[in-house]
Amino acid sequence: MIEKIYHFPLEKNEVIALLREHGITPTRQRLEIAFSLFQKQQHLSAERILDNVNSLGHQVSRATVYNTMGLFASKGLVREVLIDRERVFYDSNSKPHHHIYNVDTGELSDVEGSSDIDLANVHGLPEGCRIIDTDVVIKVSQR
């Protein structure tokens, strides 16, 4: 499958097309959320997305943001990056890659270069199971 390459920031018509390509009906609130998210490759929490959208003069609720981001993640539009029970980021770069999380600053960034990890010799998988995806988050601290 050939992946489309997007050049940020995306225009509104590109955001609408992106939503439709992922089987998402572009309602006003979904469009506002997606437009805010796809201004650049970034990692945002639902709270930051809520602040960004509302600071632009749009009014969306916290529940709408959480529900919309859950939909976007389930449809493959964004990657959901789980740091711990309290911290979830939404990544506008949906291509396979890994992350570095700085516990001191709370910043999540992409690992540059290859995302390939040799999983050929992983032991202990239940019989009949295969690895379909990996998510690596490397946590770092200055201390």
**At 2, is the pLDDT very low, low, confident or very high (cuts 50, 70, 90)?**
very low
pTM: 0.85
**What range does the domain containing 74 cover?**
12-91
Which CATH number covers residue 61?
A: 1.10.10.10
Residue 2 lies in a domain: no
Specify the pLDDT at position 133: 77
Residue 23 lies in a domain: yes
Residue 101 lies in a domain: no
Specify the pLDDT at position 117: 67
Residue 44 lies in a domain: yes
Residue 134 lies in a domain: no
Q: How many domains does the chain divide into?
A: 1
Q: Are residues 69 and 49 in contact, defined by beta-carbon separation less than 8 angstroms?
A: yes
Residue 18, pLDDT > 90, answer: yes
Residue percentage of the chain with pLDDT more than 90: 67
Q: What is the mean pLDDT of residues 109-137?
A: 79
What tens digit of pLDDT does each residue of 43-88 get? 999 999 999 999 999 999 999 999 999 999 999 999 999 999 889 9
Instruction: Please give the residue that has the higher pLDDT: either 95 or 69.
Output: 69
Residue 52 lies in a domain: yes
Strand partners, 139: 101
Q: Calculate the average pLDDT of the chain.
A: 89
Residue percentage of the chain with pLDDT more than 70: 91
Specify the pLDDT at position 113: 67
Specify the pLDDT at position 1: 35
